[in-house]
Structure 1
Amino acid sequence: MIDKLEAIKARFEEVSQLIVQPDAMSDMKKYSQLSKEYKDLDKIVKKYDQYKSVVDQLQDAKNILEREKDPEYREMAKMELDELSPQKEQLEEEIKQMLVPKDPNDGKDVILEIRSGTGGDEAAIFAGDLFRMYKRYCEKQNWKLNVLDLTEGTSGGYKEIISTVSGEDVFGNLKYESGVHRVQRVPATETQGRVHTSAATVAVLPEMDDVEVEIDMNDVRKDTFCSSGPGGQSVNTTYSAIRLTHIPSGLVVSCQDEKSQIKNFEKALKVLRSRLYEIELQKHNEEVGAQRRSMVGGGDRSEKIRTYNYPQGRVTDHRISYSVHNLPTVMDGEIGEFIDQLKLAENAERLKEGSM
């Protein structure tokens, strides 16, 4: 591990020099990559420096015990050993987690898609609750969420709502949310007080640029229509909304959140690119599935991942059998505890595979 950390530190020093060169910003794409690498390596190097400091202090305490005869000095050295040994173990564990290979998409922004599933009107209301939950979580992370397109439910909520989320390490955190979310509660439309089970699906797609996913525009049909959602005076008066149909795959994407047709086109193209990437990724995962199928990182839309039980105030993540009994807090955007536990579970899997 030490050899790997020394190599990381050497690379960090190299990147530190490259990023301040006079011509560093002449290639903005390369500069952006260097900036991200610097930021990622900086976290590991700081943790490594902290670890080395603790190791040096431990060695000093051991040396005192070996040489000193004075009982007072020996007692102080023993106290330092008792205090520093757990710190060393904790730092080693943290560094191991940091050294687990990252998904190259973790730093990307995302397309967040929420759709009502089984349960009729109640499923649409639940989809709306999930959207609010993610919106609150994004606010707490200082991420920016923009709605691209939505279809409202007849009794509230959404049949479908598609958004972009931008910020730091968005996909690396939200990717665990892909799958089927199930709710158990008495719907507002229920007259006899019976608990119903409804569901909504969540898809979290990394935003891909045109270099990573190339689209032949000859394969795309573009249609324009009048916006039907928020947008001021231009709503229903100008053909600013965009619908893109990718003919080979049959994928259809709409965007109507901007007054500008050009901006709506650009955003719709982003969604289309991300969905095409997801299709290719699913094909790849099926091919290598026999080799590795992560317990928590699959992102399968058909997999039931979490249940929100209102009568018991409980939220359970089925992938790691982890439950909390603070449902109102979770629905107010406090989902970080689940994400942290899922990260730990996936990292443990990867560490286990690496030691095989």
Structure 2
Amino acid sequence: MIDKLEVIKDRFEEVGQLIVQPDAMADMKKYSKLSKEYKDLEKVVKKYNKYLEVLADIKSAKELLATEKDPDFKQMAKEEIDAKEDEKEVLEEELKQMLIPKDPNDSKDVILEIRAGTGGDEAAIFAGDLFRMYQRFAEKKGWNLTILDLTEGSSGGYKEIISTVSGDEVYAQLKFESGVHRVQRVPATETQGRVHTSAASVAVLPEMEDVEVEVDMNDIRKDTFCSSGPGGQSVNTTYSAVRLTHEPTGLVVTCQDQKSQIKNFEKALKVLRSRLYEIELEKHNAEVGAQRRSMVKSGDRSDKIRTYNYPQSRVTDHRINLTVYNLPSVVDGELDDFVEKLRIADNAEKMQQDQG
């Protein structure tokens, strides 16, 4: 571990020198990349320096204990060693966590896609509930959520709703939400009071830039049409809405939230890049093999990940066997407990793989 930390410290000092060079300051992309690396490394180096201080304190206290004759001083040295050993253990654990390879997409904004699954009208209503849950979570985090496209359900909610979420470390906190979410409750349309099970799928895709996912514009067919509001009626007379079809894969992306056709085109292209990235990622996961894929985040949209049981006010995450009995708070956007425990489970899995 010390060897790895020394390499990080050397790189931190190197980046510190590179960032003030004229060529870096003249190139905003390069400067931004170096600044981010410096900031990330700085957190580790500060923690490592603190760890080295604690090691030095333990060494000094042990030397004192070995040479000191006064019983009071010896007792003080023992207490110092015990306290510093505890601090050392905590710092070691924190540094191990920091050394786990970071997901390069963690700092990215995301494309959030929610689609009604089995359950008819109730599934669409549940998709709407999930969207509001993420909307509230985003508000609490100070993120910006923008709807790109939606298809409303006949009894409320959405058959499909696609949005972007931008802010600080969005993908890091939402990436474990991908998969099938189930709801168990009595639908408003149920006359016998029976509990039904419905489902909706959630996909969280890191937003990709053009330099990360190349898209050949010759492969894309662009169609324009008038934006539509609730019920499908046209809300303007200009052809500002954009539909992109990626002919090699058959992927179709629609965006109509902006009045400008150019802005809608740019947003639709971002969604398309993110979906193409997801396809490549799924291929990679299949090649890696099931035994090395994460149980926490397999990347498979068909995985059943969470159940929301209204009669019992219960929410269960099936990947980490976590059950809470505060459903109203969860659907109101209180997701931090799930986010943190899923992150810990994912890190533990990575550490185990690293040791294996």
TM range (shorter): over 0.9
Segments of structure 1 that go 5 or more residues without pairing to the other structure are none
Read off the aligned partner of 1:313 and give its amino acid letter. Answer: S
SS of residue in 1 equivalent to 2:328 = helix
Read off the aligned partner of 2:94 and give its amino acid letter. Answer: E
2:124 equivalent to 1:114: no
1:50-106 CA-to-partner distances (Å, cap 9, x unmatched) read 222222222232223222222322332233233222221111111111101122222
Instruction: Spell out the pairing of 1:66-215 with structure 2 (5 A cutoff).
Output: 66-215=66-215
Segments of structure 2 that go 5 or more residues without pairing to the other structure are none
Contact kept, 8 Å, 1:296 with 1:346, in 2: the verdict is: yes
The alignment's C-alpha RMSD in Å is: 1.7
Tell me how many residue pairs correspond in the alignment: 353
Partner of 1:22: 22
Judged with a 3 Å threshold, the aligned counterparts in structure 2 of structure 1 residues 211 and 186 are, in CA distance, closer, same or farther, namely: same
Read off the aligned partner of 1:45 and give its amino acid letter. Answer: V
> What is the distance in 2 between the residues matched to 1:9 and 1:139?
37
Read off the aligned partner of 2:147 and give its amino acid letter. Answer: V
2:26 equivalent to 1:11: no
Residue 204 of structure 1: CA displacement?
Answer: 0.7
> What is the distance in 1 between the residues matched to 2:240 and 2:16?
45
2:296 equivalent to 1:296: yes
Contact kept, 8 Å, 1:125 with 1:153, in 2: the verdict is: yes
> What is the distance in 2 between the residues matched to 1:286 and 1:184?
32
Residue 291 of structure 1: CA displacement?
Answer: 5.6
Contact kept, 8 Å, 2:282 with 2:299, in 1: the verdict is: no
Contact kept, 8 Å, 1:177 with 1:299, in 2: the verdict is: no
> What is the distance in 2 between the residues matched to 1:143 and 1:162?
16
Runs of 4+ in 1 over 6 A off after TM superposition: none
Residue 20 of structure 1: CA displacement?
Answer: 2.2
Partner of 1:321: 321
Contact kept, 8 Å, 1:229 with 1:256, in 2: the verdict is: no
> What is the distance in 1 between the residues matched to 2:60 and 2:156?
66
| TM-score normalised to structure 2 length | 0.94
Read off the aligned partner of 2:9 and give its amino acid letter. Answer: K
Read off the aligned partner of 1:141 and give its amino acid letter. Answer: K
Contact kept, 8 Å, 2:113 with 2:160, in 1: the verdict is: yes
> What is the distance in 2 between the residues matched to 1:240 and 1:306?
38
Residue 172 of structure 1: CA displacement?
Answer: 2.1
1:125-171 CA-to-partner distances (Å, cap 9, x unmatched) read 11111111112222222222111111111222111111111222222
Residue 307 of structure 1: CA displacement?
Answer: 0.8
| TM-score normalised to structure 1 length | 0.94
**Structure 1 stretch displaced more, 188-197 or 10-19:** 188-197
1:267-319 CA-to-partner distances (Å, cap 9, x unmatched) read 00000111111112111211222562111121210000111112222211111
